[in-house]
Structure 1
Amino acid sequence: MTRWWLIAIAMLACAAGAWGQAAPAGNERAGTQLLSGGHAGHGVFGHAVMDRVSAEQKHAFAERVNFEPLRDLAVFHNGRVKILDTLARETVLSLTGSGAYFDLVPAGENRVTRVKYDPMFTLLDMMIDPAYYADKPLIHVGFLPLREAYLDRALPDDAATRQRLMRLTRVTPVMVEQHSTDIFNELGESPEIRRGLGDVEQALGLYLGGESNLLLVAPPERAARWEHLGDLPPESAARRAAEALGQAWRALDADGVNEAATALAAVLPTIHADVYPQGRRSIELAYNRSNAFEWGFWTYGLSLVMLLLAFGTGRRWLVAGGIALLVAAIGLHAFGFVTRCVIAERFAIQNQFESMTGVSLFAAVVGLGAMLVRRQWLFGAAAAGTGFLVLIMATQTGIPGMSIEREAAILNTSVLLKYHVTTVLTSYGLITLGFIVSLFYLGTHYAHRFAGRQADVVVMASAAVTSGGGGSGEAEVNTGPARTLRDLDKAQMTILQLAFWTLGVGILLGAWWADHSWGRWWAFDPKETWALVTWIVYLIVIHVRMAGIRDRGLTTAWLSVAGFFVMLWTYFGVNLLLPGLHAYA
């Protein structure tokens, strides 16, 4: 009964259309449009109902389907032309909160096994067999009290399943449909509950109306609108291939699906072939497959570990391995950033995810360059630490902006504004690099202070590696700690001075742009005010150095740590907690 009831809901949702999106105004960033409006209900894969299949049958079928011909098909979605593989990944991420859908397959009494599906399979399967997912944990509910509210109402007597879904952070579409109204009536006074319910309802709409996103037909002119696959005549080759794909899918005929997919992938690029995108599709597919930023932070992490171990042991092979891994990590990082720029057709720093990946790449390159010039591998360790710290935050904490979006409207208003944003973000990368170097300084200082002779030996090993192992052992013991601290102090001061001047120039560029755009140089907006506070912290660093106080290096290191956390507040806290003019930042 649930099966037919859900199909009826799907048809109603398709008939109702989908959410539209107004063009961004002022300094608002273009939002993410989950559904392309006005194209639902075509039934391009046929309208027949698929027989109920088990999770084991579904998994066995998925293993035999070849999606390679379909992955790089061009599709217009959320304001840009992307590939179908990207649409599948974004759809699954929006629904499940994860990069892939995991089905729960029974594996004995009171036991289940997670089975991972290709996002391409999940995307097509939800269009062809939506009823299969009616009682599957598909929809991510991030707000814990809301998730508890759904599960307590849906599974009052099944504690084991309730706990399993709590850990999975997902609920089923049936739960959403049956209990959302009651939850709103009982708990709707909470803004967090209302916001969470809105997200869940959007996810439900994406599940029910995902077929509306199949804008796969290139227009006759580049400025014209892409057409839905269902807008083609029923007798067209593309429609016949899509219909055949749906029929084979419902019959669990993997060979038939593969044949129809190949036919569909062959015919769509021939429709208005002069407009259909070519080279950029393969670049986007390579970007998706490489997971360059994820592999990058793992490689940075391994490099950091090896270089820190080398600091304690003096083993040259650890230094060589750490530097090789650092170069590999920067290569992966650069590949991800550059390909993203090519795909987006802009300099990819417009949102938090992009700015974090961009500034950390710059900081890592600066650290590598300093290491090569100064022949001091601790610069390399700082570069690896910066890359690891920033990339793991960007990729693993749900930072907004992972999906490639069209450029924020405000950034199109002036080249001067782009210089302002780029310069300020560059200073943030330098601040992060300086923070890592300062942590090394503090670690070396306090290790020497509290561990005495043992710390001398540790730093002696570091100095021996840096200098190539020359010199007498006794001289290294006596001069190693002081020399290492001196080198680290010079390094942190050089980087922090660069950050100071870069941030200052960025603030001035922003004020200049504000005078042209808003008629005033300064408005005491939270973002610009806290950027000034951050700059003042590093102004204090400059004055501390000029004042000639005792332990200048130690004071500088602690001020660098303080400045880093002030910068984090400016970059993240102000955006999330304080209203202001910098909605795009």
Structure 2
Amino acid sequence: MLVDPTIAMWSDRLFQATLVVLLLALVFASLEYAAGRVARAAARQEELAAVGASGATPARPGDDGTAGRATRTRADRHGRIGVSLMILAALTHLGSIVLRGFAAYRWPLGNMYEFTSALCLMAVGAWLVLVRRHPGLRPAGVFVLTPVVLLMFVTGTVLYLDAAPVVPALQSYWIIIHVTTITLASGLLLVPGVASLLFLVKRHGKPASWAAKLPSAESLDRLAYRVTVLAFPLYTFGIITGAVWAEAAWGRFWGWDPKETVAFVAWILYAAYLHARATAGWKNSGAAAWINTAGFATIVFNLFFINMVVAGLHSYAGV
């Protein structure tokens, strides 16, 4: 038996459940973000009322800050529910990936559906770790969840494939080393990509309705830098192991295949970002953030356009 259909079915159901739970988490993250804006507006109104009120003016409900505290508490409650749902989604998502591997009797990273699914899991896991360590970043969760939910939807519809054995070229232990490393790195790099975009929004203050609620520009810049510092060595190792695998499979380490070329361009961009970010005068600069954003855009381009449109030796998308 090449594939266990029962296990494959449960893998698919867990994936679908994960998407539903992530959608709910996105709803609560959005409610937290919106409630935070209401809290700031209420606090501002209270401040203006306190400045302009005379001693004879009777106190109004909420002028003592009770309404603002209640709104902030509501925002915190929404945020905590959102994080709890993300944890549940991560568990069901991990179960889906593990069952996919058992169903097909192989490492579950053999096509675009499986790769993108695992990338989303890594992004959610990285964000949960960051929020655990730095709770003040939680209001930005809606902007991390949005691309993850979109990717999950595309993965479950456009990229979906039934569980099946991989093509002979992928039947190698290198798929465990190379593809897993690239998946981990790509999932991690989604977070600094979003953080750099939010840094640019915060720095320029436009749109104002978004910028006001975001964490400080310094914290977003620091987040983008630290996660990139962690992900870049993984990405580098993934490229190196890919070259070793290419030599074993095709008799050459590097052949400027489209996927290899774009992956190298992304590596150059991230190396330039880290160098710029570590250079005096570039810290908290928009130029460094743009470079980081361009790096992640290149990874997304490589993931979708190169895999699905351009023909090459790495055309294993299955779609």
TM-score using structure 2 length? 0.77
Q: Distance in 2 between matches of 1:519 and 1:352?
A: 25
- The aligned residue for residue 101 of structure 2 is 341
2:189 paired with 1:431: yes
Does structure 2 retain, via aligned residues, the 8 Å contact 1:544–1:552? no
Q: What code does the residue aligned with 2:122 have?
A: F
Q: How big is each residue's C-alpha offset from its partner over 1:204-245, in whole Å with a ceiling of 9 and x where there is no partner? A: xxxxxxxxxxxxxxxxxxxxxxxxxxxxxxxxxxxxxxxxxx
Report the CA distance between 1:284 and its aligned residue. Answer: 4.2
Q: 2:21 touches 2:85 (CA, 8 Å); kept in 1?
A: no
Counterpart Cα distance in 1 of 2:254 and 2:93: 36
Q: How far apart in 2 are the matches of 1:455 and 1:287?
A: 37
Contact 2:4 2:104 in 1 (8 A): no
- Equivalent position to 2:252, from 505, 509, 520: 520
- How do residues 68-467 of structure 1 correspond to structure 2 at under 5 angstroms? 79-82=2-5, 281=6, 283-290=7-14, 291-312=16-37, 313=39, 314=72, 315-376=75-136, 377-378=138-139, 380-381=141-142, 383-396=144-157, 398-399=158-159, 401-413=160-172, 415-447=173-205, 451=208, 458-459=212-213
| Residue 418 to residue 335, structure 1, CA distance change in 2 (3 Å) | closer
SS of residue in 2 equivalent to 1:570: helix
Any conservation in 1 of the 2:3–2:103 contact (CA below 8 Å)?
A: no
- Is the aligned partner of 1:546 residue 2:278? yes
Q: Contact between 1:438 and 1:560, CA under 8 Å: does it hold in 2?
A: yes
Which stretches in structure 2 are left out of the alignment for 5+ residues?
40-71
Shift of 1:369: 0.9
CA contact (8 A) 2:28 2:78 kept: no
Q: Residue type of the partner of 2:230?
A: L
Instruction: State the distance in 2 between where 1:342 and 1:526 align.
Output: 32
Report which structure shows greater RCO (CA 8 Å, sep ≥6). Answer: 2
Structure with the higher fraction of residues in strand conformation: 1
Displacement of 1:379 in angstroms is 6.5
Is 1:507 the counterpart of 2:249 in the alignment?
no
> Structure 1 residue 380: deviation in Å?
4.4
How far apart, CA to CA, are the structure 2 residues paired with 1:389 and 1:560?
21
Residues 408 and 537 (structure 1 numbering): CA distance in 2 closer, same or farther, change over 3 Å? same
Give aligned-pair identity as a percent: 25
Letter in 1 for 2:19: E
* CA gap 1:510/1:309 in 2 versus in 1, 3 angstroms: same
Q: SS of the residue aligned with 1:539?
A: helix
* Secondary structure of the corresponding residue to residue 533 of structure 1: helix
Q: 8 Å contact 1:293–1:395 — kept in the other structure?
A: no
1:525, CA displacement in angstroms? 1.0
Given the superposition, is the C-alpha separation of residues 392 and 300 from structure 1 closer, same or farther in structure 2, using an over 3 Å criterion? farther
Given that 1:306 and 1:322 are in contact with CA atoms closer than 8 Å, whether structure 2 keeps it comes out as: no
Aligned-partner Cα distance in 2 for 1:425–1:289: 22
Match of 2:316 in 1: 584
Q: Which residue of 2 aligns with 1:194?
A: none
CA drift at 1:518: 2.9
| C-alpha displacement of 1:500 | 1.9
Unaligned runs of 5+ in 1: 1-75, 83-280, 463-480
Question: Could you say which residue in structure 2 is the equivalent of 1:555?
Answer: 287
Cα distance in 1 for partners of 2:207, 2:27 equals 28
For the residue of structure 1 that corresponds to 2:161, the secondary structure is coil
SS in 2 for 1:552: coil
Aligned to 1:572: 304
Letter of the 1:559 counterpart: I
* Structure having the higher Rg: 1
1:36-93 per-residue CA deviation (whole Å, 9 max, x = no partner) reads xxxxxxxxxxxxxxxxxxxxxxxxxxxxxxxxxxxxxxxx6xx5342xxxxxxxxxxx
1:303–1:384 Cα contact (<8 Å) kept: no
- Retained in 2: the 8 A contact 1:526–1:580? yes
Residues of 2 paired with 1:576 and 1:311: CA distance? 41
The CA deviation string for residues 384-436 of structure 1, in whole angstroms up to 9 with x for no partner, is 3353132122124x12x4311113322223x2343111111222212222222
The verdict on how the C-alpha distance between 1:316 and 1:505 changes in structure 2, with shifts beyond 3 A counting, is: same
What TM-score, normalized to structure 1?
0.44
- Counterpart of 2:180 in structure 1: which amino acid? T
Equivalent pairs counted in the alignment come to 280
Alignment check: 8 A CA contact 1:304 1:385 kept: no
1:294 and 1:545 map into 2 onto residues whose CA distance is 35
Alpha-carbon contact 2:25-2:85 (below 8 Å) kept: yes
**Contact 1:292-1:335 within 8 A present in 2 as well:** no
One-letter code aligned to 1:346: R
Cα gap change, 1:550 to 1:424, in 2 (>3 Å):
closer
SS at match of 1:499: helix
The letter for the 1-side match of 2:81 is G
Q: Which of 453, 471, 490 does residue 222 from structure 2 map onto? A: 490
Q: Aligned letter for 1:546?
A: A
Contact map agreement 1:326 1:384 (CA 8 A) in 2: no
Secondary structure (helix, strand or coil) at the match of 1:523 reads coil
- Residue 302 of structure 1 aligns to which amino acid in structure 2? V
- Relative to structure 1, is the Cα distance of residues 544 and 317 closer, same or farther in structure 2, using a 3 angstrom cutoff? same
Q: Distance in 2 between matches of 1:567 and 1:288?
A: 26
Distance 1:371 1:319, change over 3 A: same
Q: Is the Cα–Cα contact under 8 Å of residues 344 and 405 in structure 1 kept in the other structure?
A: yes
How far did residue 288 of structure 1 move?
4.7
